[in-house]
């Protein structure tokens, strides 16, 4: 987070990272049939809203940002791209 300009940017970075991390668990659990579709859709809707925020896109573009699951990485890249196209 050394490249972040101020305390607010650091808070936004970690808030977005925390939400994305929890969403990865929700996404994977949904893929494995462990949570209901309506619960997953509510998370997906919210993540699409968050993906419109500049702070979220900055976090994803940070060199220190790493998503560990390859399929989730591709999914998030598509989601952010789709959201940007609709903006």
H or E element that contains 76: helix 70-86
Q: Can you tell me the distance from the alpha carbon of 40 to that of 27, in angstroms, rounded to the nearest whole number?
A: 7
Q: Render pLDDT for 23-34 as a digit per residue (tens, 0 to 9).
A: 999 999 999 999
Q: Render pLDDT for 20-68 as a digit per residue (tens, 0 to 9).
A: 999 999 999 999 999 999 999 999 999 999 999 999 998 998 888 888 8
Q: Which residues are within 8 A (CB) of 65 and not within 5 positions of it... i.e. 6 or more apart?
A: 17, 59
Helices 37-51 and 7-31: crossing angle, nearest 10°?
Answer: 150
């Amino acid at each position: 987070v050394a490249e972040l300009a101020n305390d607010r940017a650091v808070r936004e970075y970690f808030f977005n990272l925390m939400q994305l991390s929890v969403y990865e668990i929700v996404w994977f659990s949904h893929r494995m049939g462990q949570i209901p579709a309506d619960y997953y859709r509510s998370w997906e809707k919210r993540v699409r809203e968050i993906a419109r925020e500049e702070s979220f896109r900055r976090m994803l573009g940070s060199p220190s940002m790493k998503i560990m699951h390859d399929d989730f990485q591709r999914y998030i890249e598509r989601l952010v791209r789709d959201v940007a196209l609709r903006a």
